[in-house]
Amino acid sequence: MKLFLRVTCVLALLIAAGGVGAQVWKPPTSMKKLTNGLRVVVSEDHSAPTFGLCISYGIGFRLEPEGRTGFAHLFEHMMFEGTPVAPKGVFDRVIEGGGGFNNGDTRYDFTEYIESGPVSTLEPVLWLEADRMKTLDFSVKNLDNQRNVVEEEVRVNVMNQPYGSFEWLDLPEKAFDKYPNSHNFYGDFKDLDAARIADVQKFYEQYYAPNNAVLAIVGDVKPDEIFAMVEKYFAGVHPRPTPPHPDVSEVPQAAERRGEQTDKLARIPALAVGYRMPPRTSPDAIVGAVTGDLLLNGEASILYQALVKDKQVAVSVSGGDNWPLGNAFEYDGPTLMTSFILYPPNVTENQVVTAYDEVISALATKGPSREQLERVAAKMRSDWYDQLEIPVNRASALSHAVLIEGNFDSVYETPERVAKVTPEQVRDFAAKYLVAKNRTIINRVPALNENGAAPSGGAQ
């Protein structure tokens, strides 16, 4: 087999005309469920002799215990610290020694573990994933080590960086009221320091069960062989009851929330705006995803054109629905449409917000043009396919969709759903959701002026 040749045949890929000249791409994909509740999705892709794998567990930072902020992520690190039969280091040696890589990722409502490598490495990797679904090596020494590593991670990504990731760490904390939606997801150091091995054991028992997980495998594989292999290694893992899912919904916001922060490291100011989004199951959710891209994705986006090019009140604009913690559909509780704006020191917060509001208010009254939406739909289709091109990324998308929605339909149908959104729907969405009383704004300004001196009244 040629490594870089994508084979086109009816079985391997299906391309059909759909919508107005749109290309529909749907690689063959199937799902089975083991008797212990583990759901398994397989998608064939014979374009290269490789595989991508994602196993997602239905637990993210939203449901980490009170007094243990950051614990879901700290726990994610403990999944790489070995088991009684495959001690710390074995997983990494096997996957890297086989020519691949592994990683983990904690989000609002799931934690994912990914591997990709030559398909020759898939079987030992499956064995190792099954092994760490049975039990872990609950080692105090390794917990202490990873606590240090995680605290370094927080330092390098938050404490030692200008802006400190306030647009995704501090904004939800201010925008929401219930603990699950409104705490420090990376973790306060006092909470990270307080974590004990008993916490690790309990969290594992509660959430890391086969019935709370979805395993997706994409690549140069035959589905029957993979289902049999997964059955062989995972069937013996016992199901465990998981805690009931608490009600994480929020009381509707009553008024706009504003916050002000100073930043000891930043040199120019920044603004983060977050609007509460409809629940994932609402018919408005898809309109929110499109509106997010229309406003915020790329140089053609409305906010970039207005704030950076026309009014010149911003240096950069980025953001989107559920941004940056996954795509616009990977959540199962309250989330925000976020705009993150850097602006020049000689521009005021008020000037930025005024220009921003003009854009939103035009959208809420006139709506976008049909042609504008068609362009956005093409871009979203293109970006969506990019996400599915690489086996390990497709495995992630499939795994998350099944975990959150119960099936993987959205993975292949989202571009069609996006293309059906109308200008009127976007207008009405903007009028309903993109309103001041539904938003939170944090303005973050440098604590030091350009000469490195503290301006008067500056406080941390």
Residues 22-41, interacting with another protein (CB under 8 A):
22-23, 25
Of residues 303 through 322, those in contact with another protein by CB under 8 A are 305, 308-309, 312, 315-316
349 exposed, middle or buried (CB, 10 Å; 0-12, 13-18, 19+)?
middle
Contact call for residue 119 and another protein (CB under 8 A)? yes
Nearer to another protein, 163 or 331 (CB): 163
Binding window for another protein (CB under 8 A); candidates: 92-100, 176-184, 333-341, 424-432: 92-100
Contact call for residue 390 and another protein (CB under 8 A)? yes
Binding window for another protein (CB under 8 A); candidates: 106-114, 254-262, 274-282, 298-306: 298-306
We find the least distance from the C-beta atom of residue 220 to another protein, in angstroms, to be 9
Of residues 6 through 25, those in contact with another protein by CB under 8 A are 6-8, 12-13, 15, 21-23, 25
Nearer to another protein, 301 or 440 (CB): 301
Which residue from 236, 279, 298, 406 is in contact with another protein, where contact means CB under 8 A?
298
**Which letter, b or e, does each residue of 37-62 get, where b requires 16 or more Cβ atoms within 10 Å of its Cβ?**
ebbbbbbbbbbbebbbbbbbbbbbbb
Nearer to another protein, 109 or 170 (CB): 170
x-or-dash string of contact with another protein, 347-376, rule CB under 8 A:
---------------------------xxx
Binding window for another protein (CB under 8 A); candidates: 82-90, 274-282, 359-367, 420-428: 82-90
What CA–CA distance (Å, rounded) separates 290 from 287?
A: 5
We find the least distance from the C-beta atom of residue 180 to another protein, in angstroms, to be 26
Which residue from 300, 324, 358, 409 is in contact with another protein, where contact means CB under 8 A?
300
x-or-dash string of contact with another protein, 392-431, rule CB under 8 A:
x---------------------------------------
Size of the site for another protein (CB under 8 A): 96
Contact call for residue 167 and another protein (CB under 8 A)? no
Contact call for residue 177 and another protein (CB under 8 A)? no
Nearer to another protein, 293 or 321 (CB): 293
Nearer to another protein, 62 or 444 (CB): 444
We find the least distance from the C-beta atom of residue 83 to another protein, in angstroms, to be 9
What CA–CA distance (Å, rounded) separates 337 from 333?
A: 13
Of residues 217 through 256, those in contact with another protein by CB under 8 A are none
Contact call for residue 99 and another protein (CB under 8 A)? yes
Cα dihedral across residues 285, 288, 290, 296: positive or negative: negative
Nearer to another protein, 281 or 460 (CB): 460
Which residue from 38, 42, 44, 50 is in contact with another protein, where contact means CB under 8 A?
50
We find the least distance from the C-beta atom of residue 271 to another protein, in angstroms, to be 14
Contact call for residue 193 and another protein (CB under 8 A)? no
Binding window for another protein (CB under 8 A); candidates: 35-43, 182-190, 384-392, 434-442: 384-392
